[in-house]
Structure 1
């Protein structure tokens, strides 16, 4: 049986960044527990200008959720802006980066994955009506509800998610089919184990 799993926003675990310059609300890491994760989802609270923590061997993607945005200044001189409504940037975790707030605190969806283990894709989509997700063996899909609401159905279970909640769609040894419906906006993330 393949069932969607609801991770409500009030269960996200809040902790300081490695370097102390902000807060993170961790949504999920996989495998769960311990520091040797393959991928990790969180919401970064950037409260002041300062350096980003280094994560060697990790790819990162940031998507602006709330606030006026942040500029990332890399040591090689590149500057990337993450601006409203849902600006995004992908970069290597070992790149030295400094965040500069445009105007006050921001909340940013933060996906990190180990590039030697995982391939990841992120899409920003309107949710109008219904869509079907086919999750292949070796994959997990995640839907983070940006606004509105979403309803996920597996083989015999249904999960209802509100804005800021997250849904996890696992698979087993065969392809899993899920239905997703509702109204609003979502981030859809596909995470695939490399080599599968």
Structure 2
């Protein structure tokens, strides 16, 4: 069980040089654009333009702040994405052009190398107590707004996850994580599953 705060985040240029990304976590640690197997990051989008190409990766994106974006994939259609939408999944080799709906946004990005990992990304709002099923080899929990969340694994490990912080939990800690918050918290939960040799 590992906690990530702003002291751990790394700011780096986009692969295409069009902006900057704040990397929350990646595997393996220290990997660059060409070698990471999975990565969780956030980016500020201030102008219209293309996304970087990541051939061989699967991607999911969600809006953390701002009024939203329009994503045009392979020049075929546009998908509107706001904070109220579910995360949107696409392939890293698709040609993606983004337009701002009304002002700049901050987005959350999950990327997994298709040959090595699969992932899902969901948005969760809750208050009180609940169990969050692992259902993966690793689960990455990002607290985007609201209350601080207390995380406790079946192995007895505990951490406080405040706004703008994240927790990475391994399946060896148990099949679920107990979450509790004194008020409403908004989380994004990425489940990361390594592909086996027979997959």
Instruction: Give the TM-score of the pair, scaled to structure 2.
Output: 0.87
Q: Distance in 1 between matches of 2:188 and 2:141?
A: 6
- Shift, 1:75, TM fit: 2.6
- Which position in structure 2 is the counterpart of 1:144? 142
Other-structure match for 1:185: 186
Aligned to 1:8: 5
The one-character-per-residue Cα deviations of 1:121-171 (angstroms, maximum 9, x if unpaired) are: 1121112222224546x7000111121211112334321111111111113
- Secondary structure of 1:20 counterpart: coil
Q: How does 1:69-80 map to 2 (within 5 A)?
A: 69-80=68-79
Structure 2: where are the runs of 5+ without partners?
Answer: none
CA contact (8 A) 1:69 1:101 kept: yes
The 8 Å contact of residues 87 and 123 in structure 2, kept in 1 or not, is answered as: no
Report the TM-score when normalising by structure 1: 0.88
After TM superposition, give the deviation of residue 87 of structure 1 in Å. 5.0
Match of 2:23 among 16, 21, 26: 26
Partners of 1:21 and 1:46 within 8 A in 2: no
Taking the TM superposition and a 5 Å limit, the aligned residue runs for 1:165-176 are 165-172=165-172, 175-176=174-175
Give ranges in structure 1 of 5+ residues lacking alignment: none
Q: How many residues align?
A: 191
The equivalent of 1:164 in structure 2 is 164
C-alpha displacement of 1:38 = 1.6
Distance of 1:142 and 1:100 partners within structure 2: 28
Structure 2 equivalent of residue 50 of structure 1 = 49
Instruction: Return the alpha-carbon distance in structure 2 between the equivalents of residues 56 and 131 of structure 1.
Output: 37
Mean CA deviation greater in 31-40 or 49-58: 31-40
1:110-121 to structure 2, matched below 5 A, reads: 110-121=109-120
Structure 1 position 31, deviation (Å)? 1.6
The Cα of 1:42 is off from its aligned counterpart by 0.1
Q: Aligned-pair distance for 1:64?
A: 0.2
Residue deviations 1:70-114, cap 9 Å, x none? 111123412111123355321110001111111221100000011
